Amino acid sequence: MKSHPFRLGCLITLGLLTLASLASAAATAPVKIGFLVKQPEEPWFQLEWKFADQAAKELGFTVIKIGATDGEKVLSAIDNLAANGAQGFVICTPDTRLGAGIAAKAKSAGLKLISVDDQFLGANGQPMAAIHHLGISAGKIGADVGTTLFAEMKKRNWTAADTAVCAVTFEELATAKERTDGAIGALTAAGFAKDHIFKAPQRTSDIPGAFDAVNILLTQKPTVKHWLVCGMNDSAVLGAVRALESRGFAADSSVGVGINGTDCIVELEKAKPTSFYGSMLLSPKRHGSETVTMMYHWIKDGQEPALDSRTTGILITRENFRQVLKEQGIRE
């Protein structure tokens, strides 16, 4: 049977209308953005989530927060995000070597991707420069830790012969290695003897991992009188400080400087000073809100974010932490 030209016309118009309404539904679909973090128990990541939520509230989109502590959880989270109508996600991966797999999975699920904190590594072990990333200026921040430690040693009149450095390392993570390398570099540049610098490699990047690593080092070096401590973040230095305390070291015989500034607040609030002297405060606000805001504009307006952004740190100590945390919107 031949179709009547009028009927055919109607069908075509109807089809076009349906297509147009589908397209406009996509453009006006609510924006949903996943935010996956490797260690949801760390205050640092909880604050990233908090600031991501704040940005979402201001701009009118939804953040889906997921603790993704291993590779399997990351992959199933990406499936769930796609099924729930998300258009993209921000991730601090539990393992940077999963980078290529995560990028491929995001692509096949049609999700945009930004990495935060820990940059993906490709199959060749090099950073995946084509994946949009926001991280810290790790080497510079580490160097500031080293400079601070050296100044504190001088202030206390500790002699070079009696003093050693304990660098709590986690070298499988590039940003962590850059931080401790930066600290060691600044200390040696200031004249600290290389043969008084010892690494305590963490098996896990948390307080117990640092505690165990430093315990081993302290057993090996029983004659050191004063310790200067650096590490990849506050948890690394806190674990070291606890291990030092268990050997009788306190604020008058050891000094540690962390990185993050968000995971040491309880420590700085203690009435009696501990060996944890201070921390390089990073910006969970920028990491949390800027990443989701970049993602939002990418999804909504097709505005592609910068490929690589780096943030800086500022030293907080018992003297100024309340004021600085307030200024940074971290504490009331």
The answer to the question of residue 330 lying near ligand GLA (CB under 6 A) is no
For residue 11, the minimal CB distance to ligand GLA (Å) is 56
Residue 68 in the binding site for ligand GLA (CB under 6 A): no
Separation between Cα atoms, residue 96 and residue 247, nearest integer Å: 35
Examine residue 135 and tell whether it contacts ligand GLA (CB under 6 A): yes
Among 36, 87, 118, 296, binds ligand GLA (CB under 6 A): 118
DSSP annotation string for 83-95:
HTT--EEEE--S-
Q: Which is nearer to ligand GLA, 218 or 236 (CB)?
A: 236
When asked if residue 91 is in the footprint of ligand GLA (CB under 6 A), the reply is no
Q: Looking at 32, 78, 114, 117, which residue binds ligand GLA (CB under 6 A)?
A: 117
* From 282, 292, 295, 315, residue interacting with ligand GLA (rule: CB under 6 A): 282
Smallest CA-to-CA distance from 94 within 206, 236, 235 is with 206
50 or 300: CB nearest ligand GLA: 50
Q: Which amino acid is at 52?
A: A
User: Which residue in the set 33, 55, 136, 143 belongs to the binding site for ligand GLA (CB under 6 A)?
Assistant: 136
Q: What is the DSSP letter of 278?
A: E
DSSP string, 245-270: HHTT--TTTEEEEEEESSS-HHHHHS
Classify residue 115 by burial, with Cβ atoms within 10 Å: 0-12, 13-18, 19+. Answer: buried
Query: Which is nearer to ligand GLA, 32 or 287 (by Cβ)?
Result: 287
Q: N- to C-terminal Cα distance for the chain? A: 76
The verdict on 283 binding ligand GLA (CB under 6 A) reads: no
- H helices present in the chain, as ranges: 5-28, 43-59, 71-83, 99-108, 138-155, 174-189, 207-220, 234-246, 265-269, 284-285, 291-301, 321-327
Give least dist CB 310 to ligand GLA, A: 10
Residue 239 structure tokens: 């674990």
Say which DSSP state 124 is in: T
Spell out, one character per residue from 194 to 233, where the chain touches ligand GLA: x when CB under 6 A holds, - when not. -----------x---------------------------x
- The residue among 275 and 291 lying less far from ligand GLA, judged by its C-beta, is 291
Smaller CB separation from ligand GLA, 43 or 153? 43
Q: Answer yes or no whether residue 35 interacts with ligand GLA by CB under 6 A.
A: no
Name the pairing type of β-strands 276-281 and 314-317.
Answer: antiparallel
Residue whose CB is less far from ligand GLA, 136 or 325: 136
Residue 44 binding ligand GLA, by CB under 6 A: yes
For position 36 contacting ligand GLA by CB under 6 A, the verdict is no
Supply 305's token pair.
Answer: 């974010």
What type of residue sits at position 62?
T
**Toward ligand GLA, which CB reaches closer, 174 or 214?**
174
Of 66, 68, 74, 92, the residue at the interface with ligand GLA (CB under 6 A) is 92
Residue found by looking up tokens 């935060």 in the block: 116
Q: Residue numbers of the site for ligand GLA (CB under 6 A)?
A: 42, 44, 92, 117-118, 135-136, 175, 205, 233, 259-260, 282
